[in-house]
Amino acid sequence: MAVSLEIISTMEKTRKILRKSQEFHFQNGKSISQFELAYDTYGKPNKAMSNCILVCHAFSGSHHAAGKFDNDEKNGWWDEFIGDGKTIDTNKYFVVSVNNFGSCFGSSGPKSICPETKKPYGIDFPDVTVLDWVKSQKILMEELKIPHWEMVAGGSLGGMQALQWAISYPDIVKKACVIAATAQSSPQNIALNEVAREMIKKDENFHDGNYFEKNAIPKVGLMTARMLGHITYLSENNMQKRFGRKKQNPESKVETDVIYEIENYLRYKGDKFSEIFDANTYILMTKAMDEFNICGDNENDFQLILKKIKAKLLIISFESDWLFPSWHSKFIQKNAMKVGISSSYIELEGSYGHDSFLFASDEYCNIVENFLNFNDG
């Protein structure tokens, strides 16, 4: 197991890969004969291992949640929250962040080499679910000899994992922080994801998902899919304030036919994304989001499922989020209250749309910090 250790400021952090020569069985009945889980840790566990927190990444995220390692170009996706003296204070807590199965940042996924064929799995990597991710994170938890999570937290698809943890393993999750998430993907979510997947599949370099064998990359499809996705992460007010109808400076155009700044921005983001992300991973991750449904067929089913939860819940939504509007979070809170779960809900203003969960504000940080540090004895 390769380990790197680096001190940034006074925060201790490690980057590791857990390699297991055992089968992992996915929810759909398929399996892989061995697997790898890439993960980062921040801070130190105490002797009782009672200060451990799991943070779960969203769709295009990774285990890189905070700080910067030698090969990282920028800080982790929740760097504003995790670190010495920050909301999740690494002087007090030991934070674990795992790269999910199916991703392309170190854990087993479509880009990984299949031990049986000696080729990348590609399109043959099994479909994954949120439950599969939670199950794999539980394996890592046991390897690290962590008895319980003081808190499981995440935004968007990460928030779905936090909620699933509280349901699947109620005895080992003390608190769950569910941010900008849902208990069930909506028809609009599924529709947007399907359009993105079709953009990728229609790229001439997709080759039915076997583009590795053709030494090709469906860059145009992946870029366009990301442009669509990025629109859903923003808000109309944010785009109006940031871009308006301003024309792009000709000297900084990413392509000659660009007219507006918003066009240039989306193409730039799409192009950069297509250089680091994998097309089959995009398809797997969006399918996992579509399949997420802990509500059953009606509210009565959902309440029966929620009754399993023993953790305290903090549910946060953002007024400007139109990918997972606040009614998704209110629905979770309403049903949690009906079955007597200790839960709190707040809608924050947030100026970045769905992406607001990534950006710290005094109010946002205070709420999460107070929830984490609250102890009712």
Active site residues: 156, 321, 354
- Which range among 1-5, 17-21, 98-102, 351-355 shows the weakest confidence by mean pLDDT? 1-5
pLDDT of residue 175 exceeding 70, the answer is yes
Q: What is the pLDDT of residue 351?
A: 87
3-state DSSP assignment of residue 297: coil
- What is the mean predicted confidence (pLDDT) over 122-150? 98
Contact 27, 131 (CB under 8 A): yes
pLDDT of residue 223 exceeding 70, the answer is yes
Q: What is the pLDDT of residue 9?
A: 52
Evaluate if pTM is beyond 0.75: yes
How far does CA 139 lie from the centroid of its chain? 18
Dihedral sign, CA of 333, 336, 338, 343? negative
- What is the mean predicted confidence (pLDDT) over 47-55? 97
Q: What is the pLDDT of residue 250?
A: 86
CA dist 370 and 92 (Å) reads 14
Q: What is the pLDDT of residue 177?
A: 98
Q: What is the pLDDT of residue 219?
A: 97
- What is the mean predicted confidence (pLDDT) over 138-161? 98
Q: What is the pLDDT of residue 255?
A: 84
Q: What Å distances lie between residue 130 and 27, 98, 133, 135, 197, CA to CA? A: 9, 13, 5, 9, 19
Q: Calculate Rg over the CA atoms of the chain.
A: 20
Burial 77-116 (b: 16+ CB within 10 A, else e): bbbbbbbeebbbbbebbbbbbbbbbbbbbbbbbbbbebee
3-state DSSP assignment of residue 299: helix
**Domain spanning 3-185+290-373: CATH 3.40.50.300:** no
Question: pLDDT-derived band of residue 2, with 50, 70 and 90 as boundaries?
Answer: very low
Residue 223 — left, alpha, or beta (φ > 0 → left; ψ -120 to 50 → alpha)? alpha
Q: What is the DSSP string of 24-84?
A: EE-TTS-EESSEEEEEEEES---TT---EEEEE--TT--S--SS--TT-SS--TTTTTEET
pLDDT of residue 1 exceeding 50, the answer is no
CA angle 170/174/175 to nearest 5° reads: 105
Dihedral sign, CA of 93, 66, 20, 35? positive
Share of the chain above pLDDT 70, in %: 97
Dihedral sign, CA of 222, 202, 27, 113? negative
Question: pLDDT-derived band of residue 298, with 50, 70 and 90 as boundaries?
Answer: confident
Over the stretch 253-284, which tens digit does the pLDDT of each residue have? Answer: 888 889 999 999 999 999 999 999 999 999 99
Identify the CATH assignment for 189-288 out of 2.170.130.10, 1.10.1740.110, 3.40.50.970, 1.10.357.10.
1.10.1740.110
Per the prediction, the chain carries an average pLDDT of 94
- What is the mean predicted confidence (pLDDT) over 16-38? 97
Q: Taking the domains of the chain in order of start, what are their residue ranges?
A: 3-185+290-373, 189-288
Question: pLDDT-derived band of residue 321, with 50, 70 and 90 as boundaries?
Answer: very high
Dihedral sign, CA of 242, 247, 251, 253? positive
Contact 38, 107 (CB under 8 A): yes
Enter the tokens of residue 87.
């909301």
Question: pLDDT-derived band of residue 8, with 50, 70 and 90 as boundaries?
Answer: very low
Share of the chain above pLDDT 90, in %: 89
pLDDT of residue 247 exceeding 50, the answer is yes
Q: 3 - beta bridge partners?
A: 16
Q: What is the pLDDT of residue 376?
A: 62
Contact 289, 157 (CB under 8 A): yes
Question: pLDDT-derived band of residue 300, with 50, 70 and 90 as boundaries?
Answer: confident
